[in-house]
Structure 1
Amino acid sequence: MGCFFCGGSNKNSQRNSSRESKKPNHCTGADKVKVDLNVNGNKEATSKDDQLSQDVKNLNLKEASNDGAVHGYREKTFTFDELAAATGNFRSDCFLGEGGFGKVYKGHLDKINQVVAIKQLDPNGCQGVREFVVEVLTLSLADHPNLVKLIGFCGEGEQRLLVYEYMPLGSLENHLHDLPPGRKAIDWNTRMKIAAGAARGLEYLHDKMKPPVIYRDLKCSNILLGEGYHPKLSDFGLAKVGPSGDKTHVSTRVMGTYGYCAPDYAMTGQLTFKSDIYSFGVVLLELITGRKAIDHKKSAREQNLVAWARPLFKDRRKFPQMVDPLLEGQYPVRGLYQVLAIAAMCVQEQPNMRPVIADVVTALNYLASQKYDPQTQPGQSCKGSPPSPRHVGNGTQTDRQM
């Protein structure tokens, strides 16, 4: 599902191509970690030898030691020829997928003897240099097992490529929607594991990174899966530094993906950490229901997942109607009530009613630890009746009840 300008058309296949007009935030090497991600690359004359270096220089994204050596990145730089060779000159059989940034290819880099995923910027695509540089910066500062690892990048002339660790199971979207014949749906335990891991990645961005970051593009297609369905957040081109001090929000042009974009952000342009919480709630609903955030193939009443789910939240007798039919009844009733309570709170229309990510992580870690065995715990025999979402006031209360 593509991205779009949330405040305008709801065509989910288009990302707004206009760019934010704020000027770069200059900093010294010592202040490197405080650099604002709300930046634009200089569109004036740039180096013909290494365009990326010029972009980075303009944005003050790296620091130099006394001997002039660059120490701003952990990541490697690759030449375009190296990346072309790694993918067989971007052969069609190496093609993995395509998004707003461009096409993604699987390749093997002899230089590091590693299978990688290589994302190539489409110069005529929806995203541009700003997203490219912001993603490099964000992942240069980040280090967490639930964030995709950026191995390196290339910026020669007009070429822009990002090199990531290869995630062999693809995106969560591929395991939830439009499954090909013969592919088995992921089970309840795996869904809870993915939800908890994605929440931990978001918690790192909100609470552990310095400066804290608002993801702004959380969706199933941006959650990649490694061996054992280990989830990692990816695609940080829309990331923003969150509000600090006594500020409550960041004012910005509304960007995101239709169906995942928080209504308060779409209407006001005021971006907060709770904007990400809403998006996470939509992803959680997709994991529970197997439905898409927006599905134009369904009737008008059921096209928007959150709008369809809200009236059902009010009657626990209807909770089984919300479960993905592909689970074939193999889920714990109590666990279903609890995870629906979390999802319902995350997609509250009022942002101050949504929980903070730390509370979501606590609740989902607990649910992921409660392994469901359909042989010994048939769904209909689970005991206990946890409160429905309408009886849960906030994240802390949910944690106590779990």
Structure 2
Amino acid sequence: MSETNLDAADAAAPTSIDALLESDVDGLLDAPQKPTKVTAADRLERAFLEVVEFRRTHGRVPDSTTREIAERKLGARLDGILANEEKIAALKPLDEFGLLETPEAPASIDDLLGDDELDLLDDESGLLDVSDLPVRKAPEEADSVAKRKKCLDFDRFEHLFKTKHAELADGTAQIAQFKGLRTVTEGRFFVLNGVMLFVAEVGETREMIVGGKPEQKQRLRVIFENGTESSMYRQSLSIRLFEQDGQSVVQTGLSDAEEILEGDTASGNIYVLRSLSDDPQIAQIDNLHKIGFTRGTVEARIKNAETSPTYLMAPVEVVASYRTYNMRASALENLLHRVFADVRLDLTQADRKGRRYDPTEWYVVPLDVINQAIHLIISGDIVNFEYDRSAQRLVAR
């Protein structure tokens, strides 16, 4: 009986390897599959899909500045992708929420502030309201608008501009709103379209007939810091300063009526600080500055800086200070923060109690560029510029 069964089994057994594999309906003899190699493209897609999933779940993009570590990591990942055109092109098919779309540059100051959903930059003082300013006129061809020419003795004046810039940097001088024709006097400095100028001479008064009426005019010798000069009329310079949002350069704290007029209201102080920290991770950073605003004095604001995380738990040095009048200085401060957002200090520290914190309002940017940005914001021209972190300067968009 047993022999008969064995013969039957032998008869049913496969006669070749191929037949054996074909009879393996349960796949017991299948060779294990080798794992597929994960490529860099696969890792990039998986990383981006985590960002997409965050957007789907929370209805917003992850914030790279939040204290929530997981979200901050995703936000930083998205920032890195947006900085690389090749990654953007590779991930476009997976971008169901338009996370990789590049916003158009704002065409005006209104567009720049248009996304201020929390109304943080509400212009209560009318700093940015130009509706009441006179309409800019086309330049006149007559002598009322003199042509600029090269200043052949500019070496006589160059040191004056360097001194004035140094005063602006150390806070002994400041930029103020232009106060009108009566302030256009010999020896005064002004800023026109971001260029500083010096009134070197005021000529004799001449009576001229303008529009059928007699009018007294004085020729000026105006020296510009770019090495040119002009002999425009005193009234013409005043008109240009008004129409093109020019500013005066005045001594800080001076109460003379020619500098700060009666009825002007001080609105606060914009200040720029340098850290005196001996912490190696702070001390080794060149051009690290804090841009802040206070309604009181800067000295009171930075008192006991070494005990405050806001000031990196170390003493600070004031390298520039601007007293602002008849304007909302906090709006100016916020605009500066926007201009330099790409170079904000990314650092986590611990205070004396061991609590972790991320300092804000600290930026890695040269002081002269901060000063230039302030002038451009006041003039409204900042919408035409952006900060180039590699070149460390403001460049045209």
With the length of structure 2 as denominator, give the TM-score of the two structures: 0.22
Q: Greater helix share, 1 or 2?
A: 1
Bigger Rg, structure 1 or 2: 2
With the length of structure 1 as denominator, give the TM-score of the two structures: 0.21
Q: Greater strand share, 1 or 2?
A: 2
